[in-house]
Structure 1
Amino acid sequence: MTAVLPARAPEAATELPPAAEAPRTARAGLPGTVARFVGRWSLRALVAGAVVAFLGLAVGPHVLGYRTMTMLTGSMAPNIEAGDVVVSTPLAVEDVEVGMVISYHIPIDDHRVVTHRVIEVDRTADGTVAVRTQGDANDAPDPWTAVLSGDTAYQMQAVVPELGNLITVLRDPVVNKVLVYGAPALLAGWMLLVIWRPARDEDDEPAADEGQPAA
């Protein structure tokens, strides 16, 4: 007689944990990308600064009517140092008052323009306005009395530190030649770089290994 053994049910397959994701490596071209980014924006900032300076010093006075002058001495220190640029706006001569800082032609020697503080105003019956001035850093008043000719004087409104020193450097013959010939070359090179720069490839993301359940 043959014995029949009961069938044994198969055990359920155990599921293996998914394989750990491989760590992503740092982007190999990161230093180069940062260098290109810094160089590109530095050049843009330089060009923008040059444009703003040109508009402010060359175009602005003709369009908006203000004047700019480089302070050559420290006679108005500490408010205005040598090498600073003074920005002055028009003012009616009859409105000039003691305490104002004005730019005007001195009545002696080379009739150069100075920017000093008004310490005395003398108005005559015919409308003539004469002033005495003094530099803030000077111990004595200027040795002259200046008659303000015309209808307009120029009162200081703003000071741009060190800009006059930069202008002096740019006017140097050697620096001027470098800018005349070098700036267009740099601009042309930058434009060619922008036009012919190869498109960046998308970074390949490492695919994560997915665990497969065992049969």
Structure 2
Amino acid sequence: MTVLRIIRSAVLWCSAVVGVISILAFAVVMLFGLKPAVVISGSMEPTLPVGSLILTQATAASQVDVGAIVTVPRDDGTLVTHRVVDIDRPDDGPFALTLRGDANESNDAAPYLVTEAGTHVLTIPVLGHIAMAVRTPIGLLAIIGGLICVFLLSYWTPRLPVPQHEPAPVAVR
């Protein structure tokens, strides 16, 4: 019974800590207007390892500098996160950002026309793998299974048989 109590306590404490960290992370992201993205290619290694979760903050293109790491949309709507190597600042219209991945030998094929870019704020290694796994059916089942386990450990108490003791002998005088 003591082992079950220790396991129950450990699972509940870990769940509580994960819950509090998740709530705080969500609050910080919302408060500062950050957007998460997952690094899925090695074009920015070693600066941004594959599987990292990055946080970006929306920044006007006029505030972006050469050397900054930015996330911008491609023509097909997917995002690219690379370093700014050149900026064409027209008098009117969108800015043209020339980007290159740190691990790439050449610039991206064409400049990205933007009025705003997500500038890199923070990198959290490995968390991107977890974020991507959670989006799969198996990851969703794992989360549901984990929640069921936490619920069961919280409220279920096994009924163990009460040991039967033989009555103590009575001393006769």
Q: Which residue of 2 aligns with 1:95?
A: 63
Superposition RMSD in Å? 2.6
Structure 1: give runs of 5+ residues left out of the alignment: 1-28, 197-215
Q: Which residue of 1 aligns with 2:124?
A: 160
1:191 matched to 2:154:
yes
The residue type paired with residue 184 of structure 1 is L
From 125, 134, 153, give the equivalent of 2:100: 134
Question: How far apart are the structure 2 equivalents of 1:183 and 1:88?
Answer: 30
Cα distance in 2 for residues equivalent to 1:127 and 1:100: 21
Q: Aligned with 2:83: secondary structure?
A: strand
Shift of 1:60: 4.7
Q: Does the 8 A contact of 2:94 with 2:113 survive in 1?
A: yes
Counterpart pick for 2:88 among 117, 122, 127: 122
Q: TM (normalized to structure 1)?
A: 0.64
Counterpart secondary structure, 2:118: strand
Work out whether 1:174 is the aligned partner of 2:143: no
In structure 2, the residue matched to 1:77 is 45
Please give the secondary structure, in 1, of the residue aligned with 2:41: coil
Q: Which runs of 5+ in 2 are unaligned?
A: 159-173
Q: Tell me, in whole angstroms, the C-alpha distance in 1 between the residues paired with 2:138 and 2:77.
A: 30
- The structure richer in strand per residue is 2
How many pairs align? 158
Question: Residues 103-155 of structure 1: CA distance to partner in whole angstroms, max 9, x if unpaired?
Answer: 1012x3x2311110000011111253111000000111100111113xx3211
Asked whether 1:143 is paired with 2:114, we answer: no
1:113–1:190: structure 2 CA closer, same or farther, 3 Å change rule?
A: same
- Taking the aligned partners of 1:54 and 1:167, their CA distance within structure 2 comes to 15
Moved over 3 A (4+): 35-39, 59-63
Q: For 2:77 and 2:128, how far apart are their aligned partners in 1? A: 21
Larger radius of gyration: 1
Identical-pair percentage: 23
